[in-house]
Chain A
Amino acid sequence: MTDKQLILVVDDDPDLVESISMKLESQNYRVDKAYDGVEAFAHIQNEKPDLVILDVMMPRKNGYQLCDELKKSGNYSDIVIVLLTAVADAVASTNYTHLDGKSTLADDYIPKPIDLDNLMQIVHDHLE
Protein backbone atom coordinates (compact mmCIF):
# COMPACT_ATOMS: atom_id res chain seq x y z
CA MET A 1 0.00 0.00 0.00
CA THR A 2 1.03 3.61 -0.44
CA ASP A 3 0.15 6.91 1.20
CA LYS A 4 -0.27 8.58 -2.15
CA GLN A 5 -3.81 9.70 -2.85
CA LEU A 6 -5.58 7.93 -5.71
CA ILE A 7 -7.23 9.91 -8.47
CA LEU A 8 -9.40 8.31 -11.14
CA VAL A 9 -9.34 10.16 -14.48
CA VAL A 10 -12.36 9.42 -16.67
CA ASP A 11 -12.67 10.77 -20.21
CA ASP A 12 -13.40 9.18 -23.59
CA ASP A 13 -10.44 11.08 -25.07
CA PRO A 14 -7.40 8.89 -24.31
CA ASP A 15 -5.01 11.72 -25.18
CA LEU A 16 -6.53 13.98 -22.56
CA VAL A 17 -6.59 11.16 -19.99
CA GLU A 18 -2.87 10.66 -20.60
CA SER A 19 -2.02 14.36 -20.33
CA ILE A 20 -3.94 14.76 -17.06
CA SER A 21 -2.48 11.52 -15.69
CA MET A 22 1.11 12.54 -16.45
CA LYS A 23 0.54 15.87 -14.75
CA LEU A 24 -1.03 14.22 -11.68
CA GLU A 25 1.78 11.68 -11.43
CA SER A 26 4.32 14.49 -11.57
CA GLN A 27 2.47 15.98 -8.57
CA ASN A 28 2.91 12.71 -6.66
CA TYR A 29 -0.62 11.34 -6.97
CA ARG A 30 -1.48 7.77 -7.91
CA VAL A 31 -3.60 7.62 -11.04
CA ASP A 32 -6.19 5.20 -12.34
CA LYS A 33 -7.79 5.66 -15.76
CA ALA A 34 -11.13 4.84 -17.34
CA TYR A 35 -12.66 5.79 -20.68
CA ASP A 36 -16.40 5.75 -20.02
CA GLY A 37 -18.79 5.76 -17.06
CA VAL A 38 -19.32 1.99 -16.94
CA GLU A 39 -15.62 1.26 -16.88
CA ALA A 40 -15.10 4.00 -14.29
CA PHE A 41 -17.66 2.48 -11.93
CA ALA A 42 -15.94 -0.91 -12.21
CA HIS A 43 -12.63 0.74 -11.29
CA ILE A 44 -14.22 2.52 -8.32
CA GLN A 45 -15.63 -0.79 -7.05
CA ASN A 46 -12.18 -2.33 -7.38
CA GLU A 47 -10.39 0.46 -5.50
CA LYS A 48 -12.11 3.52 -4.12
CA PRO A 49 -10.35 6.70 -5.29
CA ASP A 50 -10.01 9.89 -3.24
CA LEU A 51 -11.08 12.03 -6.17
CA VAL A 52 -12.57 11.47 -9.62
CA ILE A 53 -11.90 13.82 -12.55
CA LEU A 54 -14.96 13.08 -14.63
CA ASP A 55 -15.79 14.05 -18.21
CA VAL A 56 -19.45 14.67 -18.94
CA MET A 57 -19.94 13.56 -22.54
CA MET A 58 -19.03 9.87 -22.68
CA PRO A 59 -20.52 6.75 -24.27
CA ARG A 60 -22.45 4.09 -22.31
CA LYS A 61 -22.77 6.11 -19.09
CA ASN A 62 -22.18 9.86 -19.08
CA GLY A 63 -20.54 11.88 -16.33
CA TYR A 64 -23.79 13.25 -14.93
CA GLN A 65 -25.20 9.74 -14.52
CA LEU A 66 -22.06 8.43 -12.84
CA CYS A 67 -21.82 11.48 -10.58
CA ASP A 68 -25.44 11.06 -9.52
CA GLU A 69 -24.94 7.34 -8.89
CA LEU A 70 -21.86 7.90 -6.75
CA LYS A 71 -23.17 10.82 -4.74
CA LYS A 72 -26.42 8.99 -3.94
CA SER A 73 -24.69 5.77 -2.96
CA GLY A 74 -23.80 4.90 0.60
CA ASN A 75 -20.28 3.74 -0.13
CA TYR A 76 -19.02 6.33 -2.57
CA SER A 77 -20.75 9.60 -1.70
CA ASP A 78 -17.61 10.96 -0.02
CA ILE A 79 -15.47 10.70 -3.18
CA VAL A 80 -14.64 14.19 -4.43
CA ILE A 81 -15.94 14.62 -7.98
CA VAL A 82 -14.60 17.26 -10.38
CA LEU A 83 -16.68 17.39 -13.56
CA LEU A 84 -15.04 18.34 -16.85
CA THR A 85 -17.05 19.31 -19.86
CA ALA A 86 -16.76 20.95 -23.25
CA VAL A 87 -20.10 22.59 -22.54
CA ALA A 88 -18.69 26.09 -22.56
CA ASP A 89 -19.13 29.09 -24.79
CA ALA A 90 -17.68 27.07 -27.68
CA VAL A 91 -20.65 24.76 -27.93
CA ALA A 92 -23.60 25.95 -29.97
CA SER A 93 -25.93 23.11 -29.05
CA THR A 94 -25.64 20.02 -26.95
CA ASN A 95 -27.54 17.37 -25.04
CA TYR A 96 -25.59 18.41 -21.94
CA THR A 97 -26.18 21.91 -20.64
CA HIS A 98 -24.34 24.02 -18.09
CA LEU A 99 -27.48 24.00 -15.99
CA ASP A 100 -27.43 20.20 -15.89
CA GLY A 101 -23.84 20.36 -14.74
CA LYS A 102 -24.41 22.89 -12.02
CA SER A 103 -27.43 20.98 -10.72
CA THR A 104 -25.36 17.85 -10.13
CA LEU A 105 -23.90 17.01 -6.76
CA ALA A 106 -20.35 17.31 -8.08
CA ASP A 107 -17.85 19.08 -5.85
CA ASP A 108 -16.46 21.16 -8.70
CA TYR A 109 -17.24 21.88 -12.31
CA ILE A 110 -14.66 22.96 -14.93
CA PRO A 111 -15.44 23.79 -18.56
CA LYS A 112 -13.05 22.54 -21.24
CA PRO A 113 -10.59 23.33 -22.59
CA ILE A 114 -9.07 22.92 -19.19
CA ASP A 115 -5.89 24.57 -18.03
CA LEU A 116 -3.89 21.69 -16.52
CA ASP A 117 -2.22 23.92 -13.92
CA ASN A 118 -5.61 25.20 -12.83
CA LEU A 119 -6.95 21.65 -12.63
CA MET A 120 -3.97 20.63 -10.46
CA GLN A 121 -4.70 23.52 -8.10
CA ILE A 122 -8.35 22.48 -7.81
CA VAL A 123 -7.37 18.86 -7.13
CA HIS A 124 -4.86 19.97 -4.55
CA ASP A 125 -7.38 22.26 -2.83
CA HIS A 126 -9.95 19.48 -2.53
CA LEU A 127 -7.50 16.88 -1.24
CA GLU A 128 -5.55 19.10 1.11
Chain B
Amino acid sequence: METIAVYWEPQIKTYGIQVRTRLRLISLHLQTGAIPGHQLDFPAEAVRKDHRLMLVTGHIQADGCFHISMLFTGAGAAPVKDLLIPCQLEPANFNITAPVELIFFQGPHYADRYGIADAALYALESKQIDLLAAACSGSAIYLVLPEGKAQHARSALNDIFVVPLK
Protein backbone atom coordinates (compact mmCIF):
# COMPACT_ATOMS: atom_id res chain seq x y z
CA MET B 1 0.00 0.00 0.00
CA GLU B 2 1.47 3.32 -1.06
CA THR B 3 1.74 5.96 1.68
CA ILE B 4 0.82 9.22 0.00
CA ALA B 5 0.56 11.66 2.87
CA VAL B 6 1.55 12.09 6.48
CA TYR B 7 -1.22 13.56 8.56
CA TRP B 8 -0.99 15.86 11.52
CA GLU B 9 -3.55 18.06 13.20
CA PRO B 10 -3.69 19.46 16.71
CA GLN B 11 -7.40 18.70 17.02
CA ILE B 12 -9.23 16.00 15.05
CA LYS B 13 -11.49 17.43 12.36
CA THR B 14 -14.88 16.06 11.36
CA TYR B 15 -17.23 16.67 8.47
CA GLY B 16 -19.95 17.39 11.04
CA ILE B 17 -21.70 15.52 13.85
CA GLN B 18 -25.20 14.15 13.33
CA VAL B 19 -27.81 12.96 15.80
CA ARG B 20 -30.78 10.64 15.34
CA THR B 21 -33.35 9.98 18.06
CA ARG B 22 -36.23 7.54 18.58
CA LEU B 23 -34.33 4.52 17.30
CA ARG B 24 -34.64 0.84 18.09
CA LEU B 25 -31.62 -1.31 18.90
CA ILE B 26 -32.17 -4.99 18.13
CA SER B 27 -29.59 -7.46 19.41
CA LEU B 28 -29.53 -10.93 17.89
CA HIS B 29 -27.63 -13.93 19.27
CA LEU B 30 -27.17 -16.44 16.50
CA GLN B 31 -25.71 -19.94 16.52
CA THR B 32 -22.94 -19.66 13.96
CA GLY B 33 -23.42 -23.24 12.79
CA ALA B 34 -26.90 -22.60 11.45
CA ILE B 35 -27.63 -19.12 10.19
CA PRO B 36 -30.65 -19.45 7.94
CA GLY B 37 -30.04 -16.50 5.65
CA HIS B 38 -33.40 -16.66 3.90
CA GLN B 39 -35.17 -16.43 7.24
CA LEU B 40 -33.10 -13.57 8.52
CA ASP B 41 -34.18 -10.87 6.14
CA PHE B 42 -36.64 -8.49 7.69
CA PRO B 43 -39.82 -7.88 5.70
CA ALA B 44 -38.92 -5.51 2.90
CA GLU B 45 -42.14 -3.60 3.26
CA ALA B 46 -41.59 -2.96 6.96
CA VAL B 47 -38.03 -1.83 6.32
CA ARG B 48 -39.11 0.49 3.54
CA LYS B 49 -41.94 2.06 5.48
CA ASP B 50 -40.79 2.49 9.02
CA HIS B 51 -37.52 0.83 9.72
CA ARG B 52 -34.43 2.19 8.04
CA LEU B 53 -31.25 0.41 9.06
CA MET B 54 -28.87 2.99 10.54
CA LEU B 55 -26.13 0.67 11.75
CA VAL B 56 -25.19 -2.97 11.91
CA THR B 57 -22.34 -4.23 14.02
CA GLY B 58 -21.42 -7.65 15.35
CA HIS B 59 -18.78 -10.04 16.57
CA ILE B 60 -18.34 -13.64 17.50
CA GLN B 61 -18.60 -14.31 21.22
CA ALA B 62 -16.68 -16.62 23.53
CA ASP B 63 -19.58 -19.13 23.48
CA GLY B 64 -19.36 -19.34 19.68
CA CYS B 65 -22.55 -17.38 19.07
CA PHE B 66 -22.51 -14.41 16.73
CA HIS B 67 -23.84 -11.27 18.38
CA ILE B 68 -25.39 -8.73 15.98
CA SER B 69 -26.66 -5.28 16.92
CA MET B 70 -28.91 -3.58 14.40
CA LEU B 71 -30.12 -0.04 14.83
CA PHE B 72 -33.33 0.97 13.11
CA THR B 73 -35.40 4.09 12.81
CA GLY B 74 -39.03 3.91 13.86
CA ALA B 75 -38.91 3.13 17.56
CA GLY B 76 -42.57 3.95 17.88
CA ALA B 77 -43.71 2.51 14.58
CA ALA B 78 -44.60 -1.09 13.72
CA PRO B 79 -44.68 -3.66 16.50
CA VAL B 80 -41.41 -5.43 17.17
CA LYS B 81 -42.90 -8.80 16.24
CA ASP B 82 -43.36 -7.57 12.67
CA LEU B 83 -39.62 -7.31 12.43
CA LEU B 84 -38.64 -10.48 14.18
CA ILE B 85 -41.25 -13.12 13.42
CA PRO B 86 -39.83 -13.93 9.98
CA CYS B 87 -36.46 -14.58 11.60
CA GLN B 88 -37.99 -17.43 13.62
CA LEU B 89 -35.82 -16.53 16.56
CA GLU B 90 -36.43 -17.83 20.04
CA PRO B 91 -37.21 -14.99 22.48
CA ALA B 92 -34.01 -15.79 24.34
CA ASN B 93 -32.01 -15.05 21.20
CA PHE B 94 -32.95 -11.45 20.73
CA ASN B 95 -33.29 -8.33 22.77
CA ILE B 96 -34.77 -4.95 21.92
CA THR B 97 -33.87 -1.63 23.47
CA ALA B 98 -36.00 1.36 22.53
CA PRO B 99 -36.00 4.22 22.26
CA VAL B 100 -32.28 4.84 21.91
CA GLU B 101 -30.29 7.63 20.28
CA LEU B 102 -27.41 7.72 17.83
CA ILE B 103 -24.62 10.18 17.35
CA PHE B 104 -22.34 9.70 14.37
CA PHE B 105 -19.68 11.52 12.45
CA GLN B 106 -16.94 11.01 9.92
CA GLY B 107 -13.71 12.67 8.97
CA PRO B 108 -10.81 12.52 6.55
CA HIS B 109 -8.79 9.29 6.55
CA TYR B 110 -10.17 8.12 9.90
CA ALA B 111 -9.55 4.50 8.89
CA ASP B 112 -5.80 5.12 8.76
CA ARG B 113 -5.34 7.35 11.79
CA TYR B 114 -4.76 6.30 15.38
CA GLY B 115 -6.48 7.85 18.39
CA ILE B 116 -9.85 8.67 16.87
CA ALA B 117 -11.87 5.97 18.66
CA ASP B 118 -9.98 6.80 21.84
CA ALA B 119 -10.90 10.47 21.52
CA ALA B 120 -14.58 9.66 20.96
CA LEU B 121 -14.76 7.27 23.92
CA TYR B 122 -12.87 9.75 26.09
CA ALA B 123 -15.36 12.50 25.20
CA LEU B 124 -18.26 10.38 26.45
CA GLU B 125 -16.43 9.17 29.53
CA SER B 126 -15.48 12.73 30.49
CA LYS B 127 -19.18 13.59 30.70
CA GLN B 128 -20.16 10.23 32.23
CA ILE B 129 -22.34 9.30 29.27
CA ASP B 130 -23.04 5.57 29.05
CA LEU B 131 -22.63 3.83 25.75
CA LEU B 132 -24.95 1.05 24.53
CA ALA B 133 -22.98 0.13 21.42
CA ALA B 134 -20.30 1.56 19.18
CA ALA B 135 -18.82 0.96 15.77
CA CYS B 136 -15.80 2.57 14.18
CA SER B 137 -15.44 1.49 10.59
CA GLY B 138 -14.37 3.09 7.34
CA SER B 139 -14.17 6.80 8.00
CA ALA B 140 -17.14 6.89 10.38
CA ILE B 141 -17.81 6.57 14.09
CA TYR B 142 -21.23 5.54 15.41
CA LEU B 143 -22.14 5.77 19.10
CA VAL B 144 -25.46 4.37 20.33
CA LEU B 145 -26.69 6.03 23.50
CA PRO B 146 -29.57 5.79 25.95
CA GLU B 147 -32.56 8.06 25.36
CA GLY B 148 -31.91 11.71 26.09
CA LYS B 149 -28.12 11.53 25.90
CA ALA B 150 -27.34 12.42 22.30
CA GLN B 151 -27.33 16.20 22.68
CA HIS B 152 -25.20 15.88 25.77
CA ALA B 153 -22.83 13.65 23.80
CA ARG B 154 -22.74 16.16 20.94
CA SER B 155 -21.61 18.82 23.35
CA ALA B 156 -18.92 16.49 24.73
CA LEU B 157 -17.67 15.63 21.22
CA ASN B 158 -17.67 19.31 20.26
CA ASP B 159 -15.13 19.88 23.02
CA ILE B 160 -12.76 17.27 21.57
CA PHE B 161 -13.29 17.38 17.80
CA VAL B 162 -13.40 20.24 15.31
CA VAL B 163 -16.91 20.48 13.93
CA PRO B 164 -17.79 22.75 10.99
CA LEU B 165 -19.96 25.68 12.03
CA LYS B 166 -23.46 25.72 10.60
> Which residues of chain A have a CB within 8 Å of any CB of chain B?
13-16, 19, 57, 59, 86-87, 89-96, 112-118
* B4 / chain A contacts, CB cutoff of 8 Å: 57, 94-96
What are 15 sample pairs from A and B whose C-beta atoms fall under 8 A apart? A15-B138, A15-B139, A57-B5, A86-B5, A86-B7, A90-B7, A91-B7, A91-B8, A93-B5, A113-B15, A113-B108, A113-B162, A115-B15, A115-B164, A116-B164
In the complex, B99 has a CB within 8 A of chain A: no
Task: Mark contacts of B1-37 with chain A using CB atoms, 8 A cut-off: 1 yes-contact digit, 0 otherwise.
Answer: 0101111110001111000000000000000000000
- Taking CB as reference atom, which chain A residue is nearest B18? A19
Known: A14-B138, A87-B5, A113-B15. 18 other contacts (CB 8 A): A13-B139, A15-B106, A15-B138, A15-B139, A16-B15, A16-B106, A90-B8, A92-B6, A92-B7, A92-B8, A95-B5, A113-B13, A113-B14, A113-B108, A113-B162, A115-B164, A117-B166, A118-B164
Minimum C-beta distance from A122 to chain B (A)? 14
Interface size on B, residues (CB 8 A): 22
> Which listed residue, B106, B109, B138, touches A86 by the CB 8 Å rule?
B109
Cβ of B106 and Cβ of A19 under 8 Å apart?
yes
Q: Please, which residues of chain B bring their CB within 8 A of the CB of A96? A: 4-5
Q: What is the chain A residue whose CB lies nearest that of B166?
A: A117
**A90 to B166 alpha-carbon distance, docked (Å):** 21
Q: Which residues of chain B are near A95, meaning CB under 8 Å?
A: 4-5
Chain A min CB distance to B154 (Å): 17
Contact A91 B16 (CB under 8 A): no
Q: Is B107 at the interface (CB under 8 A from chain A)?
A: yes
* A92 to B113 CA separation, bound complex (whole angstroms): 14
Judged by a CB distance under 8 angstroms, whether B140 is at the interface is yes
Chain B proximity of A119: nearest CB distance (Å): 10
